[in-house]
Amino acid sequence: MLAMKLLQDRTRSQHQGATPKALSRILDDEINLAVWQRHMPLHIAEFARLLLSLNEPLAESSCLELADEDDEPDLSGLASGLRDLEGYEGFIADLKWLVSAFACLLGARRIGLRLRVLDKAMCPRFHVDHVPVRLITTYAGVGSQWLKEGAMDRRQLGQANAEPTDTTQIQQLKSGEVALLKGEKWHGNEGFGLIHRSPQPAPGERRLILTLDCLG
């Protein structure tokens, strides 16, 4: 048992599953990535594609304050310029569900929400986040990329020439999947934040991405 505990202290692993329950594995000490491999409902996927087809910018951010983790988040003003698009209400309902699940799982009362359309890699170099945990889901377009433990020397993060050149070492989330990424500020995870980066969309393509941060 002691040998197993010492091994867990030196490394981290990732968990993926077909149900939302997979996300709860982020609470395990040895896990720094938990992925719900969800198949996005058709009406939400269609809304996301419709939104991107408008070729308009979108950069929404909000700090959500919840009296307790069971409160329904107020997203009434979010992306209000898209309110007339078919599927908007279903899309907002999905955002609410994700925020509520995130709050309930982590006991979060303050959540930072960002919803953006991107046409280039926002963070093109492999890095770790200096937050406790972050939720990422790509509603349309290519998903975020990440590395298993040991694929890159952590001391050289941010250096292009130190990044893996073997594409088989680079893992990638699929559109629709919901991921919880443990960062450097999660107690006990110092030095083991998940290494990841933004993908570079192909010319003329864009992605619609949601991130949630636990702020307290």
pLDDT in tens, 10-34: 689 999 999 999 999 999 999 999 9
Does this model's pTM top 0.95? My answer is: no
pLDDT tens digit sequence for 141-172: 999 999 998 888 898 888 888 888 888 999 99
In a domain, 206, yes or no: yes
Could you list the residue range(s) of the whole structural domain that residue 78 is in? 13-214
Six-digit token string for 94: 């999905």
Which residue did the predictor score with more confidence, 182 or 164?
Answer: 182
Per DSSP, what are the bridge partners of residue 145?
A: 172, 197
Query: Does pLDDT of 127 surpass 60?
Result: yes
Domain-located, residue 5: no
Whether 26 is covered by a domain: the verdict is: yes
Q: Please check the confidence at residue 120 and state whether its pLDDT lies above 80.
A: no
Please state the three-class secondary structure of 142-179 as a single string.
CCCEEECCCCCCHHHCCCHHHCCCCHHHEEECCCCCEE
CATH code for the domain of 139: 2.60.120.10
Asked, for residue 82, whether it belongs to a domain, the answer is yes
**Beta-strand relationship, 31-36 and 133-140:** unpaired
Residue 210 lies in a domain: yes
Instruction: Calculate what percentage of the chain has a pLDDT beyond 70.
Output: 95
